[in-house]
Chains A and B, each alone.
Chain A
């Protein structure tokens, strides 16, 4: 089977970018949490965790 070329430096860059994007998501998400009622955010969290 022919396998693709793997550029480790490219993968490291992508991993770093993904992490940066997740941190940015956390900032957006915590801003949303702070202005959202406990009932609403915890209901969404429950859907995620209990699914």
Chain B
């Protein structure tokens, strides 16, 4: 595995699978419209080789005003559709502004889908601000810092989440800011889980 890793950027090449292409198709629109986003889901593990797939990709998107959201909606609707709500104003006011997520899939499909929400808690704002750039085959994506992604997966705590955390930690343990990772372990109160499953 050949990955160039620095604090703010991870750069590598791979043969793209259908899920990678799906994520690229959606984030291309966000990049084009200069909308700040971060991928926070299990896809981060899949991006770096985990041997599983996923039905959803979780994104946190900066809070948009309705005009900007409508522009995003119009662009997204060229290839995707919202499977939660067909009306853009309702999607914005009744879901996003009330802290709920909306989901987009490719037209006439249900899975995989992008689960998109606005930041709500401090942690959401932090991860959006501290997002890391990934250059995948020279295409730009933004993901959660692994120093948070790994502890957060342990915090979520299902067997699948723990396996995702173990995968990422095994791949990147020599490159991570371990002080930052340990701080999140402390804050999320998962030191015991970390010692049990990752050390």
Q: How far is the CB of B146 from chain A (nearest CB, A)?
A: 14
Q: Which residue of B lies closest to A41 (CB)?
A: B49
Interface of B toward A, CB cutoff 8 Å: 1-2, 12-19, 46, 49, 51-53, 159, 162-163, 166-167, 170-171, 197
Are the CB atoms of B197 and A23 closer together than 8 Å?
yes
Across the interface, which residues of B come within 8 angstroms of A36, CB to CB?
A: 1
How far apart are the CA atoms of A11 and B90 in the complex, in Å?
46
Across the interface, which residues of A come within 8 angstroms of B53, CB to CB?
A: 48-49
Across the interface, which residues of B come within 8 angstroms of A43, CB to CB?
A: 15
Q: How far is the CB of A21 from chain B (nearest CB, A)?
A: 11
Known: A37-B2, A39-B15. A23 touches B171 (CB 8 A): no
Are the CB atoms of B17 and A50 closer together than 8 Å?
yes
Are the CB atoms of B17 and A30 closer together than 8 Å?
no
Are the CB atoms of A33 and B1 closer together than 8 Å?
yes
Q: Which residue of B lies closest to A40 (CB)?
A: B15
Known: A23-B163, A23-B197, A27-B166. A46 touches B171 (CB 8 A): no
A-B contact pairs, 5 of them (CB 8 A): A19-B159, A23-B162, A38-B14, A46-B15, A48-B52
* Number of A residues, CB within 8 Å of B: 23
Q: How far is the CB of A50 from chain B (nearest CB, A)?
A: 5
**Counting CB contacts under 8 A, is A34 at the interface?**
yes
Across the interface, which residues of B come within 8 angstroms of A50, CB to CB?
A: 17-18
Known: A38-B12, A46-B16. A27 touches B49 (CB 8 A): no
Are the CB atoms of A42 and B171 closer together than 8 Å?
no
Q: How far is the CB of B70 from chain A (nearest CB, A)?
A: 33
Are the CB atoms of B166 and A33 closer together than 8 Å?
no
Are the CB atoms of B167 and A38 closer together than 8 Å?
no
Q: How far is the CB of A5 from chain B (nearest CB, A)?
A: 26
Across the interface, which residues of A come within 8 angstroms of B171, CB to CB?
A: 30, 33-34
**Counting CB contacts under 8 A, is A3 at the interface?**
no
Are the CB atoms of B17 and A46 closer together than 8 Å?
yes
How far apart are the CA atoms of A35 and B3 in the complex, in Å?
12
Are the CB atoms of A42 and B14 closer together than 8 Å?
yes
Pick the residue among B49, B162, B166, B167 that contacts A42 (CB under 8 A).
B49
Are the CB atoms of A27 and B170 closer together than 8 Å?
yes
